[in-house]
Amino acid sequence: MIKVLIVDDSAFMRNTLSSMISTDPEIHVVGVARDGAEAVEKVALLKPDIVTLDVEMPKMNGIEALKQIMAKTPVPVIMVSSMTTEGAKITLDALDLGAVDFIPKNLSDLSLNIVKIKDHLIEKIKRIGKRGLPLFKRIPSPKLLRMPETSHSASHRRINIVAIGSSTGGPRALQNILTKLPKDFPVPILIAQHMPPNFTRPFAERLNQISAVEVKEAEHGEVIGKGVVYIAPGRGHMSIVRKRITESVISISENRGDYIYRPSVDALMLSIVECFSGHVLGVILTGLGNDGLIGMKEIKNSGGRTIAESESTCVVYGMPKVVVESGIADKVVPVDEVAGEIINSV
> Domains (ranges, CATH) in the chain?
2-131 (3.40.50.2300), 161-345 (3.40.50.180)
- pLDDT at residue 150, as a whole number: 61
Active site residue 345: no
- pLDDT at residue 325, as a whole number: 97
Please state, in angstroms and rounded to a whole number, the distance separating the CA atoms of residues 131 and 203: 26
Q: How many other C-beta atoms are found inside a 10 Å radius of the C-beta of residue 116?
A: 12
* Closest among 59, 74, 73 to 134, alpha carbons compared: 74
Catalytic residue among 35, 279, 291, 345: 291
Burial class (CB in 10 A: 0-12, 13-18, 19+), 138: exposed
Do the strands 77-82 and 50-54 form a parallel or antiparallel pair, or are they unpaired?
Answer: parallel
Active site residue 22: no
Please answer whether residues 132 and 241 qualify as being in contact, where contact means their C-beta atoms are separated by less than 8 angstroms.
Answer: no
- pLDDT at residue 155, as a whole number: 41
Catalytic residue among 194, 239, 264, 310: 194
Residue-wise pLDDT tens digits, 229-278? 999 998 889 999 988 777 899 999 887 667 777 899 999 999 999 999 99
Q: Work out the percent of the chain whose per-residue pLDDT is above 70.
A: 91
Please state, in angstroms and rounded to a whole number, the distance separating the CA atoms of residues 180 and 125: 31
Catalytic residue among 81, 166, 167, 310: 167
One-letter amino acid at 263 equals P
Active site residue 194: yes
Q: Is the pLDDT of residue 84 over 70?
A: no
- pLDDT at residue 153, as a whole number: 43
Mean pLDDT score of the chain, rounded to an integer? 89
- pLDDT at residue 119, as a whole number: 81
- Which spans in the chain are helix H? 11-21, 36-46, 62-72, 85-97, 110-116, 118-131, 170-178, 197-210, 265-276, 293-301, 319-325, 335-345
* Closest among 201, 209, 211 to 86, alpha carbons compared: 201
Q: How many other C-beta atoms are found inside a 10 Å radius of the C-beta of residue 118?
A: 16
Q: What is the pTM of this model?
A: 0.90
